[in-house]
Chain A
Amino acid sequence: DAKTTQPTSMDCAEGRAANLPCNHSTISGNEYVYWYRQIHSQGPQYIIHGLKNNETNEMASLIITEDRKSSTLILPHATLRDTAVYYCIVRADQAGTALIFGKGTTLSVSS
């Protein structure tokens, strides 16, 4: 079973920041937080991952709370092309460990 809890759906206006929350209260010390997204009929796309420090790349920012029990993915300026299902996944730092996908959050960006 997935170790994360995410809202089923969220809406965001184009150009605004999209803040997607994720709860992972049972996360272990060696587990990373990953975010992937899946646009309809395509394979999942990696967005970002982190262990305990906040991370930023060209796509998004990842904010992890100090106790690591929750995190937030931030898309700073959402566009219509960001409409997708967003998956928050915790995964151990161990060779061969699978990504266990939950239901994810369906983000709808509208103009």
Chain B
Amino acid sequence: KAGVTQTPRYLIKTRGQQVTLSCSPISGHRSVSWYQQTPGQGLQFLFEYFSETQRNKGNFPGRFSGRQFSNSRSEMNVSTLELGDSALYLCASSLQGTTEKLFFGSGTQLSVL
């Protein structure tokens, strides 16, 4: 069974631009979560989607948004990029998003210049 796939693996953008990251969960998984990882703040929760609905949201500005499609694939978008948005963005999937384990992808490394 294929794991969680995130594309692209690396991305370079400039301030003010917007970016869209993609996550394909494990087949059959309906919950997708997104996390941001930086050296200073560590791993921080962005949001979680289940059956195309956002079920939980972390403490991030409205520039960060996401969506989930009917096939459970998910995208996250960051508008008006700032230097501080440079980070590793990780996606995780699980069957129902309750107590079962999460499977993480390898992440998208975003650099904002």
Contact = CB atoms under 8 A, between A and B. Distances in A.
Interface residues of B, number: 26
B interface SS class:
strand
B48 A43 contact: no
A3 to B, nearest CB: 14
B58 A98 contact: yes
Nearest to B49: A96
A100 B45 contact: yes
Nearest to B91: A43
A77 interface: no
Interface stretch (B11-19, B62-70, B72-80, B104-112): B104-112
Contacts, number: 62
A95 B42 contact: no
Contact of B56 (A32, A97, A102, A103): A97
Nearest to A30: B99
Nearest to A97: B56
A101 B42 contact: yes
A42 B48 contact: no
Interface of B: 4, 31, 33, 35, 42-45, 48, 50, 55-56, 58, 90, 92, 96-99, 101-107
29 contacts: A42-B106, A43-B92, A43-B106, A44-B43, A44-B90, A44-B92, A45-B104, A46-B101, A46-B102, A46-B103, A87-B43, A93-B98, A93-B99, A95-B50, A95-B55, A95-B96, A96-B48, A96-B50, A96-B55, A96-B56, A97-B98, A98-B33, A98-B58, A99-B35, A99-B45, A101-B35, A101-B42, A102-B42, A104-B42
